[in-house]
A and B are shown apart, each in its own frame.
Chain A
């Protein structure tokens, strides 16, 4: 799960990771009041779940009241389009207003789980404020990594090593050490999957602060962090995906026109792949999961068909534990209640498949059934192309 910068900074503050003075606002009036209180210069920052906000015009330094008014008005309510938002962009509903600081150095600092080493790794770079992927490509020598073994936890030597590589003065080292110690604890305590500060800054007074803040959390661990789960912002998510999540359906919307309903994540991915292999374009990833009920299948259909790009539907079920006759009942129930006008190709294989096929056949509904995977996909691709 992702959260906003202003939320991440609240968490930073409560865990002893220094951030600039500032506050979030959802109206222009509130934002201006905050700016006036902080004093100028200050920074107006669009709050959306996407990087590249600066280049997209979503971050602005303002030096006085009239500049503040102008840019608060411009950024709040804008549709911010960056390389991470997709062409449709994201509506800015909130601003973070922060005190401007006298910056003398900028760094990059992050903690993630290294899947290869199977432990957290701290990544730091002397090239702050830039995209870390391009630093890694162009200046790999400017990136420093420090793995933290679960037995030792974060030790003084980890911090010392990074501080010397970043060429910090003695006072700066102490401030960096406090920040990193608290940041690492925050990472573990809250089951983060990523914390990223870009840039981490050193001020003229040798203070070390997080000028930006990004935290992603491990979805599997949200059950033990209800306070963080409550920070979820459904406005930042695709509406159909939010709807699907209510029914424990795993749905991701894509650009194509063939709606897919599959059981199992791996088979759902493979189904998208094979549709593409035969020249079609999948409209979505949809895993209905193991415990499929008639109701769940009906909801899945509702969500698939709510995507107006969908021209044909492909149901691909491999019944192992899932009984295909139950799925068939769900499809018939859904189709009768929904007045579906587009073709539906169904492949049911596995447990009780004869019964499943009989139910579909006797339904008097206009389904296309195919048993062979390749034939079924060819058929749905063809139907999606037809007028």
Chain B
């Protein structure tokens, strides 16, 4: 089945004609994603990559019946782009942009609660249901359709895990990069809730990192409500406290949010925690047999 996106998803690109938007839209189209158009203000009416360009998301939705939007606009304009997509009734908004101010995200997050839109990201590689649809920037080649759901706060580290899963001939049902920022749309728990009801997904790989409490919340949820096996790796076991490790969300403050704490509480709730990121694929293989 896969979750959130599939071969029927109708995708528009915000920031369509820019360098990033053009490059990744091309890749998505090559993968088979149904890109039905894009948005660049003041370029409405043009054709780009053989698809129509619109001035507003509202117009694009009206003309194309799009239900998914992927955002590539620069960070200073990204919060506005998310709000516009939600106002136009887009069901799934995937925000790739990195560097959105936290206070912008505070407003966006609380606004989204009054809509029916779901946000993935920001500062994330996007979402992919291999063989069906890719909405994001992840390398297509390493993915294969299969039975493992992936949820991750990272980008390249996720690709390493996906690559291992593919080499073990397990494949992925859906892979979601939830993003490396302190405030993000879809959390581990929300993604787990979706994988729980997905028949294609037999196990989940969860890649967390230092900072915040999303992994702890996920652990509590898994302990009570999730009966598929979960394999987890937490990046930043050796990170010094108080330093921002690349991702805005990856910072240990006041002894909270350490990798050790997260790993302990995940283990306590029945999660298979790997200390060595080279062993993610093999661990899933061993569990699924």
Contacts and interface: CB of A to CB of B under 8 A. Distances in A.
A120 B105 CA distance: 12
B139 A320 contact: yes
A268 B109 CA distance: 29
A270 interface: yes
Chain A binding surface, main DSSP class: mixed
Interface string B152-186: 11111111100100000000000000001011000
Given A191-B103, A269-B250, A350 B233 contact: no
A150, A320, A350, most chain B CB atoms within 10 A:
A320
A269 B159 contact: no
Given A218-B101, A264-B154, A269 B278 contact: no
Contacts of B222: none
Contacts of A266: 152-158, 180, 207, 209, 235, 246-247
Contact of A218 (B102, B155, B160, B207): B102
Interface in A131-173: 133, 149-151
Given A221-B102, A274-B278, A318-B159, A282 B139 contact: no
Interface string A304-331: 0000000000000011110000000000
A274 B248 contact: no
A374 B276 contact: yes
Contacts of A277: 275-276
A374 B237 CA distance: 17
Contacts of B238: 254, 269, 272-273, 275-276, 282
Interface residues of B, number: 59
Contact of B110 (A151, A220, A351, A372): A151
Contacts of B160: 267, 270, 318, 373
Contacts of A276: 237-238
A285 interface: yes
Contact of A119 (B106, B159, B210, B279): B106
Given A266-B207, A374-B276, A220 B236 contact: no
Contacts of B210: 269
A115 B237 contact: no
B246 A250 contact: yes
B138 interface: yes
A150 B105 CA distance: 11
Contacts of B254: 133
Nearest to A351: B139
A275 B278 CA distance: 11
Nearest to B242: A84
A269 B103 contact: no
Interface of B: 75-76, 99-107, 109-110, 137-139, 141-142, 152-160, 163, 180, 182-183, 207, 209-210, 212-213, 233, 235-240, 243-250, 254-255, 259, 275-279
* Nearest 10 interchain pairs by C-beta: A266-B154, A265-B246, A264-B156, A266-B157, A320-B139, A221-B101, A269-B235, A267-B156, A374-B278, A373-B278
